[in-house]
Amino acid sequence: MTPAGTIRDTDVLVVGGGPAGLATAIASRLEGLDALVVERRRPPIDKACGEGLMPDGLERLRRLGVELDPARQSPFRGIRYIDGDTVAEGRFPGVNGAGVRRLDLHRALAARAEEVGVDLRWGTRVEALTGTGVETDSGSLSARWIVGADGLRSRLRAWAGLDAPPARRQRFGVRRHFSVAPWSDCVEVYWADDCEAYVTPVAADEVGVAMLWSPPKGGKRNTVGRKAGFDQLMASFPRLAESLAGAPAASKDRGCGPLRQRVKGVTRGRLALVGDASGYVDAITGEGLSLAFHQAGALAEAMKAGDLRLYARAHRHIAAVPDAMTRLLLWIERRPALRRRVIRALAREPTVFSRLLAIHCRALPVRRLGIETAPRLLWRMVQP
């Protein structure tokens, strides 16, 4: 703890100036707290991501006062699953999501952070936790609250003893952009065994393609992950390759993983974790950004109230349904025969798919799923 009477550099010291860190800093300022962000890179910051913002994530950004350039985003109305010849489509309930390049999202978040008076220290790396704050490569900083927003492989999480043992099965991601007009008003998900491709419209003349995959059974961890390049993975998706044929690449490939990160908790003393640093299941449901924005608001409120237990509780609540859905999808993804049946059932029951999406983006409570849904889907799954 900072000794009584000590002058601190700030109320809230955020380590990591990605979406979660910047959103937390902005939300803290809106709660009347001073906020300082330490980020090792310089803006705008890019990252491997599917770049689809769910409707509730967009709403959270609006509440923070973050304005996205309308010319540099592309609305989408739902999610389309494509598995061989089977196409299933669910629509959001009267609201859109938006595809936004990470660079554009980062520009917008950083501009808003600056506008509300966040102290932004770009190009500064945090090297250790101290009793009063953190040690950086350009000196020490002290604060009342320390926020670890330093991503999947959070060092703060490890230093605070909040790392849990790694998951056995690992998944990885890689993305590339293409200069081509989007052909769909949905985010498209192409399914193959051990790999999916996510196509997100991000501008009037650009789509992003993110691949998620797991090393084959018996393959060495990480080694296979690193070897599986974008073009190699694209071979699993001939239909998508045809849609992209001749479209020039508009970005360099960016990879990331392993995705699954387990945590023992999200707070310790005066430290709280937010975003990917606070635990991550998988990108299969494309909502990491939305989750981070929900968490950021809850964390700022808890810091304002002076009680991080409020955040720990809110974090559990925010993550409960998304985590359950992500685990369920991963379980299905590992069983190709079952996966094909589930997607076929969703194709035959588009209203059920849309209702699941509405729950996913928090427009409907889980209880509105209806008791008839599971038997209906099961019936569709066993039909020839």
Ligand X SMILES: Cc1cc2nc3c(=O)[nH]c(=O)nc-3n(C[C@H](O)[C@H](O)[C@H](O)COP(=O)(O)OP(=O)(O)OC[C@H]3O[C@@H](n4cnc5c(N)ncnc54)[C@H](O)[C@@H]3O)c2cc1C
Structure tokens at 107: 């520009």
CA distance linking residue 128 with residue 134, whole number of Å: 6
- Which residue number, 48 or 113, has a Cβ lying nearer to ligand X? 48
Q: 187 burial class (0-12, 13-18, 19+ CB within 10 angstroms)? A: buried
The torsion angles phi and psi of 251, rounded to 5 degrees, stand at -160, 165
The torsion angles phi and psi of 375, rounded to 5 degrees, stand at -60, -35
Binding residues (CB under 6 A) for ligand X: these are 15-21, 38-41, 45, 47-52, 125-126, 149-151, 155, 173, 175, 210, 212, 256, 259, 275-277, 283, 286-290, 292
- Which residue number, 102 or 341, has a Cβ lying nearer to ligand X? 102
- Which residue number, 233 or 345, has a Cβ lying nearer to ligand X? 233
Structure letter (DSSP) for residue 284: T
Strand stretches in 57-194, DSSP E: 74-76, 78-83, 86-91, 97-99, 119-121, 126-129, 133-136, 139-148, 172-179, 186-192
The torsion angles phi and psi of 90, rounded to 5 degrees, stand at -120, 145
- Which residue number, 15 or 25, has a Cβ lying nearer to ligand X? 15
- Which residue number, 11 or 150, has a Cβ lying nearer to ligand X? 150
H or E element in which residue 282 lies: none
**Smallest distance, Å, CB 188 to ligand X?**
12
User: Helix or strand or coil: residue 177?
Assistant: strand
- Which residue number, 21 or 33, has a Cβ lying nearer to ligand X? 21
**Smallest distance, Å, CB 204 to ligand X?**
19
- Which residue number, 49 or 299, has a Cβ lying nearer to ligand X? 49
- Which residue number, 55 or 303, has a Cβ lying nearer to ligand X? 55
CA distance linking residue 325 with residue 359, whole number of Å: 10
**Smallest distance, Å, CB 19 to ligand X?**
4
Q: Are strands 86-91 and 267-268 parallel, antiparallel or unpaired?
A: unpaired
Structure letter (DSSP) for residue 247: P
**Smallest distance, Å, CB 145 to ligand X?**
16
**Smallest distance, Å, CB 68 to ligand X?**
14
Structure tokens at 38: 């330490």
**Smallest distance, Å, CB 238 to ligand X?**
21
**Smallest distance, Å, CB 125 to ligand X?**
4
CA-CA-CA-CA torsion sign (219, 221, 222, 228): positive
**Smallest distance, Å, CB 171 to ligand X?**
9
Structure tokens at 242: 């045809």
Asked whether the bond before 375 is cis by omega within 30 degrees of 0, the reply is no
